[in-house]
């Protein structure tokens, strides 16, 4: 995920022509239904690194789909420190966690230049009642988010530091593959500090493990560029 140059032509693309349709809300919709969903999308906008999409405690009026780039979600602890909850890639929906209380229970910030689709909840609720397949897909996305939360809890509770870092890299690899991108070579849009925060580790520990994996010819690391050299070995470390 490099710092992305987002064209306004790409922003004007409809759900029907979006290459991420099979990963996002339009999955399974007919052309006419996609057009109706397209009409609901309030804005398609560009945000830059450090820009906020929404803030914790604000009223949840919309959910957001990442079209390109990447964003992170986080909460602020009583100490004032951030706790990162997740990193979100193209085709993923954010803002679902605050649907029950209509209040965002976390904040979201762009990690790089990204394009975002905003879907107002009131209009989305109406169209979901009219298009059952859209409602079904939305429930699947919510279920996927719950599943990811469970996996993260297991990761933090049961795995040591080496396993956490290896699992994180494998997770990114698999998610890039789903998007038709290289699963072996990719750029980390998040900082080492963000990765450490997310995995519950010290930043020095993350840097040490990445260096060790590189020395052992499991991965190659050049600043934020990662190349998985020995996928099987990385899998062994994650599952050991």
The verdict on 149 and 63 lying in the same domain is: yes
Q: Per the structure, how many domains does the chain have?
A: 2
DSSP string covering 177-192: HHTTS-SSEEE--S-H
Instruction: Please give the Cα distance from 90 to 69 (Å, whole number).
Output: 6
Domain closes at, from 156, 174, 191: 156
Report the C-alpha gap between 193 and 175 in whole angstroms. 21
- Domain end position, chosen among 97, 131, 156: 156
pLDDT at 11: 45
Q: Provide the domain limits for residue 42.
A: 8-156
Predicted local distance difference test score (pLDDT) of residue 22:
62
Same domain, 34 and 148: yes
| 187 DSSP β-pair partners | 225
Which of 87-96, 113-122, 145-154, 191-200 is modeled with the greatest confidence?
191-200
Are 144 and 48 part of one and the same domain? yes
Query: What CATH number is associated with residue 34?
Result: 2.60.120.10
Instruction: Based on the fold, state whether residues 50 and 122 are members of the same structural domain.
Output: yes
Domain boundary residue among 124, 156, 188? 156
Could you give the CA distance from residue 45 to residue 50 in angstroms, rounded to a whole number? Answer: 15
Instruction: Identify the top-confidence range among 63-67, 153-157, 159-163.
Output: 159-163
Tell the residue number behind the tokens 């990385």, with chain if given. 234
pLDDT 10s digits, 5-55: 444 444 445 676 675 666 577 677 777 777 777 777 766 789 999 999 999
- When the pLDDT of each residue in the chain is averaged and rounded to a whole number, the result is 86
């Amino acid at each position: 995920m490099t710092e992305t140059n987002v064209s306004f032509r790409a922003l004007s693309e409809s759900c029907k022509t979006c290459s991420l349709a099979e990963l996002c809300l339009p999955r399974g919709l007919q052309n006419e239904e996609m057009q109706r969903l397209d009409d609901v999308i309030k804005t398609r906008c560009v945000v830059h690194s450090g820009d906020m999409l929404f803030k914790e405690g604000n009223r949840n009026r919309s959910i957001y789909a990442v079209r390109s780039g990447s964003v992170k979600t986080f909460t602020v602890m009583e100490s004032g420190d951030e706790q990162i909850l997740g990193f979100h890639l193209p085709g993923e929906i954010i803002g679902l966690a605050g649907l029950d209380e209509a209040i965002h229970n976390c904040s979201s910030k762009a990690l790089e230049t990204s394009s975002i689709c905003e879907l107002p909840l009131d209009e989305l609720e109406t169209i979901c009642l009219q298009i059952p397949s859209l409602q079904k897909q939305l429930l699947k996305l919510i279920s996927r988010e719950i599943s990811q939360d469970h996996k993260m809890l297991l990761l933090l509770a049961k795995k040591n530091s080496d396993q956490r870092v290896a699992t994180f890299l494998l997770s990114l690899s698999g998610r890039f593959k789903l998007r038709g991108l290289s699963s072996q070579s990719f750029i980390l849009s998040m900082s080492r500090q963000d990765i450490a925060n997310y995995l519950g580790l010290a930043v020095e520990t993350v840097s040490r493990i990445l260096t060790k994996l590189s020395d052992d010819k499991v991965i190659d690391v050049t600043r934020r560029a990662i190349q998985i050299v020995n996928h099987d070995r990385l899998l062994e470390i994650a599952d050991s």
